[in-house]
Amino acid sequence: MAEVTYREATRIYPGTEQPAVDRLNLTIDDGEFLVLVGPSGSGKSTALRMLAGLEACDEGTIHIGDRDVTLVQPKDRDVAMVFQSYALYPHMSVAQNIGFPLKQQKVPKAEREKQVREAARILDLEEYLDRKPKHLSGGQRQRVAMGRAIVRHPQVFLMDEPLSNLDAKLRVQTRAELADLQARLGVTTVYVTHDQVEAMTMGHRVAILDYGVMQQCDTPGELYRHPENLFVAGFIGSPAMNIIPTDVDGDAVVFGSMRIPMDPAVAAAAAKSGGAGLQIGIRPQGLVLGDEGVPTEVVVVEELGSETFVFADIEHLGERLRIRIRVDADYAVARGDKTHVNVLGPVHVFGTDGLRLKTAEEQAG
């Protein structure tokens, strides 16, 4: 087990100019479960493959523990990887697949079998040891891939979207099992996904990438409550945050017919930029339908059973604007209803550069 450090790590694919991973600085603590998340093309898989040694690090360094592994071959890095396709060897049985890394390490046969059985027991694969991968279900294959990783007791686990080939129900179940397994084994884990729900539920910390640049790395709660910029604000949370262009009116921002007062520090920063190009971000959970607030007309109602999301139009800065609002499941609402939307908060204010303006409290802290 070990700490992993990316220092200014950069990957530029041959024939391209835009780096796939651009000067990544990130330290992953010993035993931590870190999730790399981002849309496709964000460089999250590339960052993982750089740590695996499958992609070269064109600039900067990567350290595992005290060791600089930047130029170390994958087989000598002491990391294990679970691939999206699981990459099981089709000609080998489950037992041979799990035992393959041990065989490469020249572990004696008896010891190897013991460890394979132990891994199979942990992953509930004992009765399938003699089967070939093609005779296994998706979930079982995924567990075999896990088995092949844990049997080695590596310093770091790398997982590249390991759940994306499972159906929705199994994915939720396996998600919890994986998080539990990682906690029990206590091995530093780097996990790549494009699914922000997976990222938020599994990671101790989540690093968000976009166009190869790390946007923010923090605990799921912090990312949700204090997104650093517009990209993080829009990416984290489902449904996405309402991002609304706005104007400044004194110490307040405009939301439809309402004036929402700003924190003094935020107001000062907003005033500095002249008030132009500002945007506010309010989560659907930060809005409420009722008798007070901005007049609105309901357009779409999405009932999820546990809660309901409403898409509604308001009059904002002289234009119609569609916003998302969360309401309780038993709240009676239908398309065409004319009602009001009020702001519960919090309201984030983003400057022209897309960065969130910090409150006085945050600036002090």
Partner 1 sequence: MTLTARDKQLRGESRWGTAALGIVTWLVAALFFFPIFWMVLNSFKTELDANTTPKLLFEPTLDRWQAVTETIPGLLSFSEAFYNSFLIVIVSTVLVLVLAIPAAYALSIYPIGNWRDALFFFISTKFLPIVAAILPLWIIARELGLLNTHLVLIILYTAMNLPLAVWMLNSFFREVPRELIEAAQMDGTGLYGQIKDVMLPIVAPGVAATALLCFIFAWNEFFLAVQLNPVEGSTVPVWVSTNVTTRGMFMAKLSAASTLAILPVVIAGWVAQKRMIRGLSMGAVK
Footprint on this chain of partner 1 (rule: CB under 8 A): 52-54, 73-75, 79-81, 83-85, 87-91, 100-101, 104-105, 148, 152, 158
Long-range CB contacts (within 8 A, 24+) of 109-115: 115/151
Selection from 28, 152, 177 nearest residue 80 by Cα: 152
Tokens matching residue 222: 């912090």
Nearer to partner 1, 56 or 329 (CB): 56
Cβ closest to partner 1, residue 27 vs residue 105: 105
Q: How far is the CB of 91 from partner 1 (least distance, A)?
A: 4
CB of 83 to partner 1, least distance (A): 5
Nearer to partner 1, 101 or 286 (CB): 101
CB 164 within 8 A of CB 172: no
Question: Torsion angle of alpha carbons 270, 346, 35, 138, nearest 10°?
Answer: -130
Looking at beta carbons only, is 145 or 248 nearer to partner 1?
A: 145
Spatial neighbors of 168 by CB under 8 A, at least 6 apart, are none
Identify whether the C-beta of residue 80 lies closer than 8 Å to the C-beta of residue 150: yes
Q: What's the Cα-to-Cα distance from 146 to each of 37, 81, 92, 117, 269, rounded to whole Å?
A: 20, 8, 16, 14, 49
Q: What are phi and psi of 41, to 5 degrees?
A: 85, 10
- Residue with smaller CB distance to partner 1, 148 or 171: 148
- H-run or E-run covering 360: helix 360-364
Work out how close the CB of 53 gets to partner 1 at its nearest, in angstroms, rounded to a whole number.
Answer: 8
In the complex, least distance from residue 85 CB atom to partner 1, rounded to whole angstroms: 5
Q: Which CB atom, from 160 or from 263, has the smaller least distance to partner 1? A: 160
String of DSSP letters for 290-343: ESSSEEEEEEEEEE-SSEEEEEEEEEETTEEEEEEEEEETT----TT-EEEEEE
Q: What's the min distance (Å) between Cβ of 44 and partner 1?
A: 17
348-350 and 279-282 as β-strands: parallel, antiparallel, unpaired?
Answer: antiparallel
The distance of closest approach from Cβ of residue 76 to partner 1 in the complex, given in angstroms and rounded to an integer, is: 8
| Cβ closest to partner 1, residue 86 vs residue 128 | 86
Residue 303 Cβ vs partner 1, minimum distance, rounded to whole Å: 40
C-beta of 322: minimal distance to partner 1 in Å? 42
Q: In terms of CB distance, is 90 or 305 closer to partner 1?
A: 90
Handedness of CA 225, 231, 237, 241 (dihedral sign): positive
- For partner 1, which is the closer residue by CB, 75 or 135? 75
Residue with tokens 């979930």: 139
- DSSP symbol at 187: -
In 3D, which of 213, 166, 206 has the Cα closest to residue 43? 213
Residue 94 Cβ vs partner 1, minimum distance, rounded to whole Å: 15
Contact present, 240 and 348 (Cβ < 8 Å): no
